[in-house]
Amino acid sequence: MSEITLRGISKRYADGTTAVDNVDLDIQDGEFVILVGPSGCGKSTLLRMIVGLEDISEGDLSIGGNRVNTLGPKDRNLAMVFQNYALYPHLSVRENIAFPLRLAKMEPGEIDQRVGEAARVLELGEFLDRKPAALSGGQRQRVAMGRAIVREPAAFLFDEPLSNLDAKLRVQMRTEIARLQKRYGTTTVYVTHDQTEAMTLGDRVAVLRKGIMQQVGSPRELYNNPINLFVAGFIGSPSMNFLPGQIRGGKLTLPMAELDLPEEFRERVGANAGGREEQSVIVGVRPEHFEDASMVSKDVLGSGVTFRSRIDVIEWMGSELYAYIPVQGSARHNQGMAELARELDQEDVRSEGDESQIVARLDPASRVREGEESELWLDARRLHLFEPETGASLTYREGAGDPTTEGAHPGASHGGSNGGGTAGGRGGELGGAGGAGAVRRDA
């Protein structure tokens, strides 16, 4: 068994930087977990602590049930695949793959057998006698993976392995890695800043911000049920739209429309607002929860609100249509939102003064036109509401958001203090490290 368990893991560098702050994470045997977050959030540091290249300042790291904090990298039996695959240029593909086995003084017959098997699975058989220089980028990447595979490690650790590749190759290698991981069933931890990679590769995704674990869950959980503004904005492309909202007597006022808050939201918002009469919120709407009103069937129209708006720009891509809509009043009214936008790298796209722009993904058959007013529709059932000060979601539901697992095990099978992406501190503890401090709702 090679489950990897992190308990209260922190890293403080000599200059005082806290790169990783009290992280809890349970990675099951055979599971594929993605560590994702913007540049500088501490994901490489966390990976390097797991592999043993970086000392752990605080906390306990176990692999297969044994505490390994003080073991050197060699004794942890993990295989790391880096961004620059570091192949030996003077060695053939065969010798590159065999290298770690020779180092371990493995018997030659066994080496041949393992290299042959890896080459077969990786479809490198015909290249075994070539030098790396005579291979394509993708083939080199496969050799690097071969070198990791032959060691039969307890786990594979990937540090942004695809970021040097061009877009097409990246997609190819992504499916390749997913296929190999399933084939071998080896526990895998994969670091990336690319939310698309995170969403497509992993069984579960762990989102880090400034060294602090925000939420751990399946891609669907994170997408449908983000715990705070940061996760909501980070996961999904194009990202979630944020609008300022005002709740008063069961009604939600948005810059472009007023709507009745669906009953289930009303209860939860009420509870969180301590029954206050009026409450400011940040409203999150995914692009696909807008529609051209003329394309919405009559029985569904009532679940949302219709509004008229000019459409600034249309991007039609055959299977998708994105409409850019100006809205008055920006949700960037506070420091936190501005900082969040910077972190999420979306500052310039959406806002200018008090006018901001939202992105709507409409039915590609829609006849809306650039520069003209159109009747649009917003699905009220799919709104997300956030607390403006802390960024905590008011609509987050513990263990929800993944229809493929919902009801079966709200995170239970992944156990641990953050199984399924539960909040470390729900309500009242938004700013603090609530409980195990594994997951935070403030963003």
Q: Candidates 25-33, 43-51, 78-86, 338-346 — which segment interacts with ligand ADP by CB under 6 A?
A: 43-51
Report, in Å, the least distance between residue 16 CB and ligand ADP: 8
Does 41 sit near ligand ADP (CB under 6 A)? yes
- Judged by CB under 6 A, the residue of 7, 43, 147, 426 near ligand ADP is 43
Does 44 sit near ligand ADP (CB under 6 A)? yes
Report, in Å, the least distance between residue 213 CB and ligand ADP: 12
CB atoms closer than 10 angstroms to residue 58 = 14
Which residue has the CB atom at the shortest distance from ligand ADP? 44
Does 39 sit near ligand ADP (CB under 6 A)? yes
- Judged by CB under 6 A, the residue of 4, 7, 42, 151 near ligand ADP is 42
Q: How far apart are CA 175 and CA 138, in angstroms?
A: 12
The set of residues, in sequence order, having a beta carbon less than 8 Å from that of 408 and lying 6+ positions away, is: none
Does 84 sit near ligand ADP (CB under 6 A)? no
Does 212 sit near ligand ADP (CB under 6 A)? no
Q: Which is nearer to ligand ADP, 194 or 406 (CB)?
A: 194
Q: Which is nearer to ligand ADP, 20 or 392 (CB)?
A: 20
Does 329 sit near ligand ADP (CB under 6 A)? no
What are the φ/ψ torsions at residue 324 (nearest 5 degrees)? -100, 120
Q: Which is nearer to ligand ADP, 38 or 419 (CB)?
A: 38
**137-149 and 93-103 are packed helices; what angle lies between their axes, rounded to 10 degrees?**
20
Q: Candidates 42-50, 253-261, 316-324, 328-336 — which segment interacts with ligand ADP by CB under 6 A?
A: 42-50
Q: How far apart are CA 44 and CA 192, in angstroms?
A: 9
Report, in Å, the least distance between residue 57 CB and ligand ADP: 12
Does 45 sit near ligand ADP (CB under 6 A)? yes
Q: Which is nearer to ligand ADP, 37 or 419 (CB)?
A: 37
Say if residues 56 and 12 touch (Cβ distance below 8 Å). no
Q: Bridge-partner residues for 279, per DSSP?
A: 247
∠ CA 156-159-160 to the nearest 5 degrees? Answer: 125
Does 13 sit near ligand ADP (CB under 6 A)? yes
How far from each other are the two terminal CA atoms of the chain, in whole angstroms?
Answer: 35
Q: Candidates 11-19, 169-177, 217-225, 355-363 — which segment interacts with ligand ADP by CB under 6 A?
A: 11-19
Q: Bridge-partner residues for 392, per DSSP?
A: 228
Does 88 sit near ligand ADP (CB under 6 A)? no
Does 297 sit near ligand ADP (CB under 6 A)? no
Q: Binding to ligand ADP (CB under 6 A): which residues in 151-170?
A: none
∠ CA 195-264-280 to the nearest 5 degrees? Answer: 70
Report, in Å, the least distance between residue 348 CB and ligand ADP: 22
**Amino acid at the residue 61:** L
Q: How far apart are CA 207 and CA 425, in angstroms?
A: 16
Q: In the sheet where 355-362 sits, what is the strand order?
A: 313-316, 321-328, 355-362, 351-352
Per the structure block, which two tokens stand in for 326? Answer: 């100006």
CB atoms closer than 10 angstroms to residue 253 = 14
Does 413 sit near ligand ADP (CB under 6 A)? no
Q: Which is nearer to ligand ADP, 44 or 195 (CB)?
A: 44
Does 40 sit near ligand ADP (CB under 6 A)? yes
Q: Residue 112 is inside which H or E element, if any?
A: helix 108-121
Q: Candidates 32-40, 74-82, 276-284, 297-305 — which segment interacts with ligand ADP by CB under 6 A?
A: 32-40
Q: Which is nearer to ligand ADP, 14 or 408 (CB)?
A: 14
Q: SS3 string of 227-267?
A: CEHHHHHHCCCCCCEEEEEEEECCEEECCCCEEECCHHHHH
Per-residue binding string, ligand ADP, 238-267, x by CB under 6 A, is ------------------------------
Report, in Å, the least distance between residue 214 CB and ligand ADP: 13
Does 49 sit near ligand ADP (CB under 6 A)? no
The set of residues, in sequence order, having a beta carbon less than 8 Å from that of 55 and lying 6+ positions away, is: 11, 49
Q: How far apart are CA 258 and CA 260, in angstroms?
A: 7
Q: How far apart are CA 26 and CA 54, in angstroms?
A: 20
Q: How far apart are CA 284 and CA 385, in angstroms?
A: 6
Does 19 sit near ligand ADP (CB under 6 A)? yes
Does 383 sit near ligand ADP (CB under 6 A)? no
Say if residues 372 and 311 touch (Cβ distance below 8 Å). yes
Chain CA centroid to CA 260, Å: 32
Report, in Å, the least distance between residue 49 CB and ligand ADP: 9
Please report, as ranges, the residues that interact with ligand ADP according to CB under 6 A: 13, 15, 17, 19, 37, 39-45
